[in-house]
Structures are given as C-alpha cells and as structure tokens.
Chain A
Amino acid sequence: MSSPKALSRAPVKGKTDGAKPAVGKTVASKPSAKKPAKAAVSDDASPTPAQKAAFLKAMAAGVKLNTAASRSLVKKKGSPFAAEAPKPTPKVEVLRRIPAPVKVVDTPESKTALALAALIEASIDARELGKVQPHAQQALVAALCKLYAAHAEAGERFDILGQRAATVAATDVMVMCGALLKAVDLQVFELGMWQSWSSG
C-alpha cells in the first residue's frame, strides 16, 4: 500500500494526462507561467452546486422581483429567488369589452334578397349559369346599383360587400366594374376624375 503522502503528491510534470480529478471536486491546478488561464479550467468539468448557486446569484443581481426574468430564475433549482420572491397574486382586470357585432334586422324584402343570393350562388356552384338569364341579371344589377347609390346619397354609407368580400375574387370585381363602366359609356379616367373631385 502506498502512503497518504504518496497519494497527495503533485503529479510529475509531463505525466498529467492519465490523472483524473475526483468527481464533484473542482480542478484547481497551480497557474503556470506558460498557460495561466487554460490550465485552470477543464472543458468537461461540471460545476459544483456551490458554483451553480454562485452563478445564479450573479445572474439574479439586478433582476427585479415579479418580472418575467425573476420568474424564470425562480424555476431554477437553488435560485436565490426561490425563497425570497413572493408569489404574485393573480387578479382579474377587465381591460376592454368588445361588443358582439350588430345584429342585422331581417325585413321580409331582405329575406327574399338573401334567398335569391343563395339561389344564384348555388347555380354558380352547380355550373348552371343558364338558370338566371341575362335579362334577369340586368334587372338585378340595375336595381342594386340604384339602391346602393340612393343609400350613399342619403348618407348611409356601408361596405358594398362587407365580410362577403372574402368570398369574391378580385378578378370578378374588376370584370364587373369594367362592364358597369362600359354599360354607361364611362372611361376609367372619368371615374378617376370623379373620385378626385368628390368623396366617393
């Protein structure tokens, strides 16, 4: 058996590769003149609980209580915040109340118009375009054009498509607008001029 003196003997210079540090103990070698920083820390050495606690304390320095940063530290084992940080008491505060969308008033005429719209959409889905003949479409478009303009003149402005805009393709809108302008012999520049002169 070797004596305790022999065990604690410092490793012979040049033969240190085989020597392993004890588990859980810090590697504290004497700083050499050639490699002062690298020799002090081993790459695979895991920090001790005391080192972890010291690291967490250093991280916690300057962190305010009841912040996201402090809460993240509380979760860590051995954090100085674990005992110190008081648990925030949740309290419900109503910030905003957003009312339900205004309910539409369904008049008998509106119900008829909605039923007609559903019928037209169904005929498009079924590719039965002949169901609503051109003369009927002309009557519908003309009536809707007058109705919308009458509302606008009366100051009752509303979105022409509303949420249904999501279901109408931009191409469809351009085709329809172009056809409407052509029907009343208007050029696009005339529309532009009118829009620049008015609020429409």
Chain B
Amino acid sequence: MAEQFVGKASEFKDGERQIIRIGEDEIGVFRHAGEFYAYSNFCLHQGGPACEGLTIARVIEPLREDKTSMGLHFHETDMNFVCPWHGYEYDMKTGAHIADPRVKLRKYDVVRKGDEVYVVA
C-alpha cells in the first residue's frame, strides 16, 4: 500500500469526481462538503461503474408520533451516490449500501498533504 498522488485540492471543486486507475484498481475519488472520499468503482451488484452515477441527497420518510408518514424528504446533510446500471445506492461517507449497510464498497484512505491529495492503494 502506497500513497498515490491524485491531484491538487485547489483544482478539485466541491461536488466534483475523478475516476482514476491505480494498477488494476479503478477508483472513484469524490469531493463532498470539503472532504475527500475514495471508493472502488466496481458496483457490488453486477460490477457497474458505481461511482459515476447520480449524486443525490438521502431520501428519508419521517414519521409522526402516531407512526403515520410525513411524506418523503431529502436529508439535509447525508449524500448518496447511485450506480447508473441498476440503481444500487451507496452512502458518500461510508460507502455502505443504503438498504443493507453490511454491504460496503471497498474504501480507500485519502491523505491530504497541504494542497496535494493522495489515495492509499
């Protein structure tokens, strides 16, 4: 495992993504709310490009005290990304599948040294 230079943080706008290849691993590097996240670009469902689909706020369904639905709403902070092949949805911060958190994309550590961003792979 070695730190691989990916790019400069100043050139990486918030909300932007990069799909990179390190050796034989294809990795999606996200910048969301100032933080960097890196996950394997192979969807756990059927190997689709998991990191290249829609990014969308988590949809939640709050309940009233009597357990009736208040309808569907977007979460204010939690963001997900969706595999474009069949809609497998993953949490941006953990890479865990939304419906079954036991299922997780391989996560790569991202190290920031000043303005430089490295992925440990």
Which residues from chain A sit less than 8 Å from chain B, CB to CB? 68, 88, 90-101, 121, 124-125, 127, 163-164, 166-169
A71 to chain B, nearest CB (A): 9
User: Which residues of B3-22 have CB atoms within 8 Å of chain A's CB atoms?
Assistant: 4-7, 13-22
8 closest Cβ pairs, A-B complex: A100-B15, A167-B72, A98-B17, A90-B23, A96-B19, A93-B21, A125-B70, A95-B19
Q: Which residue of chain A has its CB nearest to the CB of B55? A: A101
The SS class assigned to the A binding surface is: mixed
Task: Assess whether A121 is in contact with B73, with CB atoms less than 8 Å apart.
Answer: yes
Cα separation A125 to B19 with both chains bound (whole Å): 40
Q: Is B62 on the interface with A (CB-CB < 8 A)?
A: yes
Per a CB cutoff under 8 Å, which of B7, B15, B20, B74 touches A101? B15
Task: Assess whether A93 is in contact with B20, with CB atoms less than 8 Å apart.
Answer: yes
Q: Is B121 on the interface with A (CB-CB < 8 A)?
A: yes
The SS class assigned to the B binding surface is: strand
Task: Assess whether A90 is in contact with B22, with CB atoms less than 8 Å apart.
Answer: yes
Task: Assess whether B59 is in contact with A96, with CB atoms less than 8 Å apart.
Answer: no
Please name all residues of chain B whose beta carbon is closer than 8 Å to the beta carbon of A95 when the two chains form the complex.
Answer: 19-21, 26
Cα separation A101 to B121 with both chains bound (whole Å): 28
20 more A-B residue pairs beyond the given contacts A90-B22, A99-B13, A167-B59, with a C-beta to C-beta distance below 8 A: A88-B23, A90-B2, A91-B22, A92-B119, A93-B22, A94-B7, A95-B20, A95-B26, A96-B19, A97-B16, A100-B13, A100-B14, A100-B15, A100-B16, A125-B71, A163-B54, A166-B72, A166-B74, A167-B73, A167-B74
Cα separation A163 to B55 with both chains bound (whole Å): 10
Task: Assess whether B18 is in contact with A97, with CB atoms less than 8 Å apart.
Answer: yes
Per a CB cutoff under 8 Å, which of B5, B19, B21, B121 touches A98? B19
Q: Which residue of chain B has its CB nearest to the CB of A66? A: B24
